[in-house]
Amino acid sequence: MKYHLTFEPEKKTVEVEKGTTILEAAMNNNIVMRHYCGGNLQCTTYRVIIRNGKENLSPMAEKEKAALQGKAYLNYRLSCQAKIYGDVTVFVATSSLLD
Ligand code: FES
């Protein structure tokens, strides 16, 4: 089953397989993001804000919550940790994009 993931502010929507991380979906669709540690929760470089579909993401583990340093309540997620299980819209800060 495929779901829709929309990246704001560009409003680019891509189709993703169930269980794909936001980072994997970005990389598979030529949206090149910072991800220095390879998803090991060491760099927290690619944060996104969940605009819609928060309930369609994998639950946040304690390690991710700790890595976000108190920003979890602001709907931040680490793209390398959040897996997609339904339609989701995320806002990507330009600081998360590679130049
Ligand atoms: S890629 Fe480093 S924490 Fe996600």
Closest approach atom of ligand 1 to CA 43: 2
For ligand 1, say whether the CB of 41 is within 6 Å of any of its atoms.
yes
pLDDT digits (tens, 9 = 90+) for 42-52: 877 788 999 99
* d(CA 32, ligand 1 centre) in Å: 14
* d(CA 25, ligand 1 centre) in Å: 15
In this prediction the pTM is: 0.89
For ligand 1, say whether the CB of 80 is within 6 Å of any of its atoms.
yes
pLDDT digits (tens, 9 = 90+) for 16-65: 999 999 999 998 998 877 777 878 888 777 889 999 999 999 999 999 99
- CATH says 2-96 is which class? alpha beta
Cα(23)–Cα(81) distance, integer angstroms: 8
